[in-house]
Structure 1
Amino acid sequence: MVSPKLFGTALLTGAAIACAIPAPIALAEGNQPAERLGLVNLTIHDHATKTFRTALLACGLNTGSHPDPEAACDAIANAEGDIDAIEGDDGMCPLIYAPATVRATGFFAGKPVEYSETFSNACVAANATAGVFDF
């Protein structure tokens, strides 16, 4: 038998979680096709400064915190959801060794996204992923 105190705590916890879940996410203008929809959490761990940055990439949705979601979503879509297959560019980056580990978890086009890689610095990471990790 569940104690009343434990039951009350479970109810309050459930209510708090329910309140924290946002309202349904609306599709962006033009109702994107399913192969362009995605919600991916991105992180950059800067080993030199021991800091983390995060961004939410919401492809085809009216939400997210990525500064250039259209370009990032295009890059992922062109790689068919495989961030490791993105053809990056060789843009100019400082030749400073400041390792940065990037990670992506979520879903794109109905498939799970799991990606993690360490680059020589955050600029190289942004260039190698065509801007996905440029935030």
Structure 2
Amino acid sequence: MAPLPLIAAIAAIVPTFTTPESSFVLSVQRAQSYQFTQLTCEPAGGLHPRAEEVCLALSGVDGRLEGLSTGDAMCTLEYAPVKVRASGTWRGESRTFEAEFPNSCVMQAQTGPVFDF
């Protein structure tokens, strides 16, 4: 049995891992194609290629994706449905978002950089 001081010394040098209070699993479905990524905020990170920009956008709407909008967009009337989903937490509070858009342009106009991966 290891002496207690040795265990305390080992525990002191092992890094502590904490789960970020703001993290999401994001998915995009186009026809039969699926894309997934993981996003963490505070600090920005995860696998999302635009994590810092997305976290900044989410900060402005308290992590509520339904509040995002980039304003007016000039989108075609092309019908190529895109389904998106976000599930996770924002500053410790559970958040879920699901939506279907007629095409990628409309999706990006309504959700900004969140599903642009």
Q: Which category of TM-score, normalised to the shorter sequence, fits these structures?
A: 0.7 to 0.9
2:54 counterpart (37, 61, 72)? 72
For residue 56 of structure 1, report the CA deviation from its aligned partner: 0.8
The alpha-carbon deviation at position 78 of structure 1 amounts to 0.5
Q: CA deviation at 1:69?
A: 0.7
Tell me the secondary structure at the aligned position of residue 75 of structure 1.
helix
Paired position in structure 1 for 2:17:
24
* Number of residue-to-residue matches in the alignment: 102
More strand per residue: 2
Q: Where do 4+ consecutive residues of structure 1 move more than 6 Å?
A: none
CA contact (8 A) 1:26 1:62 kept: no
Letter in 1 for 2:88: G
SS in 1 for 2:56: helix
Q: 1:1-135 alignment to 2 at 5 Å?
A: 24=17, 37-47=21-31, 50-61=32-43, 63-135=45-117
> Are 2:44 and 2:55, in contact at CA under 8 Å, matched by a contact in 1?
no
Report SS of the residue matched to 1:39.
strand
1:123 and 1:109 map into 2 onto residues whose CA distance is 29
1 CA distance for matches of 2:36 and 2:46? 11
| Shift, 1:63, TM fit | 4.0
For 1:114 and 1:94, locate their aligned partners in 2 and report how far apart those are by CA, in whole Å.
Answer: 28
Q: Structure 1 length normalisation: TM-score? A: 0.66
Letter in 1 for 2:64: D
**Deviation at 1:114?**
0.3
Determine what percentage of the aligned residue pairs are the same residue. 30
Amino acid at match of 2:87: T
Consecutive unaligned residues in structure 1, runs of 5 or more: 1-22, 28-36
Q: CA deviation at 1:25?
A: 5.2
Q: Bigger CA drift: 108-117 or 84-93? A: 84-93
